Amino acid sequence: MALQTLKRDASVDQIIEVMSSDGALILEDVVDEQRIDHCVAELKHFIDVTPLGRDDFTGRLTKRTGALAARSGTCRDFIVDEIILAAAESYLKPYSKKILLHLTQTILLQPGAAGQPFHRDRYAWGRHLPLTLEPQFNTIWALTDFTSMNGATRVIPGSHHWEHGREPNDSEVCVAEMSKGSVFLYSGSVIHAGGANHSEQNRLGLNITYCLNWLRQEENQYLSCPPEIARNFDPVLQDLLGYVQGDYALGYFSEPTDMTGQREVVSPSVLMNRND
Ligand SMILES: [Fe+2]
């Protein structure tokens, strides 16, 4: 099965159709080079000082940098991209009324970085969730070109339907080659891995992922993007970070120092100066 590519003007329905059948696709030329360069400039210092990964999975020549909702206005725009967010909501709608931002992370593969083991991102929650349930919708934005030489993501289209433990053979593996500004979309269940960087240049990607609102987020958004920062954001982004109740009784808080009773069992949206 080949990895399909859709144009930027693809409809949400078209994206969902391919995601349902293949579990992955490339959305071509989503943003121009100038916006990507601006994003990289906003994050350059944080990436420069990020330590290398601690093991073969995180990558010993790989830098992973987070808190991007707090650190980059361009990333904030990408997180709430109209089409991609609508696709994420539609894809996850059968399992939850609302979704959350699961993680934000640039992934820089230095020259010589080894390929990552194949995995499913949903294994962040172990294997407790039934395979009939899709917990996650993921994106990797190409901040540089992604090529087979520099570590473009490897993916097995259709593998989101596989049982646990099935290993891909070489002929089933596709390489998500894409130009800077394109976005790789993939489900939490599709089997994939970061490639090896055999080039002389860094490969830089931006991983933005979304999950069901009743699951724990991989990146703790309340710490990576605390209320005093999130207060100034678009309400759509505040909701994705988790600063709204997920359901009737999901995610309320009580202000520990409040002696007036005004902040007892209330929605976190009050910290955003909202009343919903
Ligand atoms: Fe992954």
Q: Order of strands, edge to edge, in the sheet holding 174-175?
A: 174-175, 154-155, 192-193
Q: Residue 232 Cα, ligand 1 centroid: separation in angstroms?
A: 31
Question: Are residues 202 and 67 both part of a single domain?
Answer: yes
Ligand 1 centroid vs 44 CA: distance in angstroms?
23
Domain that holds residue 139: 5-243
pLDDT at residue 276 greater than cutoff 90: no
Q: How far is the CA of 123 from the centre of ligand 1 (A)?
A: 9
Model pLDDT, residue 197: 98
- What are the tens digits of pLDDT across the range 76-92? 999 999 999 999 999 99
**CA 249 to ligand 1 center in whole angstroms:** 32
Contacts of 208 (CB under 8 A, 6+ apart): 68, 75, 78, 79, 101, 103, 104, 138, 139, 141
Could you report the per-residue pLDDT of 96-146, keeping only the tens digit for each? Answer: 999 999 999 999 999 999 999 999 999 999 999 999 999 999 999 999 999
C-alpha dihedral sign at 141, 144, 146, 152? negative
Taking all residues of the chain, what is their mean pLDDT, rounded to a whole number?
97
Tally of structural domains, the chain: 2
Per-residue pLDDT for 275 more than 90? no
> 229 alpha carbon to ligand 1 midpoint, in Å?
28
Q: What is the pLDDT of residues 240-252, one digit of tens each?
A: 999 999 999 999 9
**Do 36 and 95 share a domain, yes or no?**
yes
Residue 261 has pLDDT above 90, yes or no: yes
Q: Are residues 155 and 168 in the same domain?
A: yes
Q: What's the whole-model pTM score? A: 0.97
Whether residue 169 sits in one domain with residue 140: yes
Residues 198 and 255 in one domain: no
Judgement on whether residues 187 and 255 belong to the same structural domain of the protein? no
Q: What percent of the chain has pLDDT over 70?
A: 100
β-strand 136-142 against 183-187: which pairing, if any? antiparallel
- Average pLDDT of span 55-82: 96
- Which residue in 142, 143, 140, 179 sits closest to 37, CA to CA? 143
Domain CATH code at residue 110: 2.60.120.620
* 149 and 272 inside one domain: no
Asked if residue 232 and residue 98 are part of one domain, the reply reads yes
Q: Which residues contact 68 (CB under 8 A, 6 or more apart)?
A: 43, 75, 104, 105, 106, 206, 208
* Cα-Cα end-to-end distance for the chain: 46
Cα(102) to ligand 1 centroid in Å equals 13
Instruction: Extract the tokens encoding 138.
Output: 């993921």
User: DSSP H helical segments within 4-49, as ranges?
Assistant: 12-22, 33-48
Identify the band that residue 1 occupies on the pLDDT scale cut at 50, 70 and 90. Answer: confident
Same domain, 169 and 271: no
Ligand 1 centroid distance, CA of 137 (Å) = 12
**234 confidence band (pLDDT: 50, 70, 90):** very high
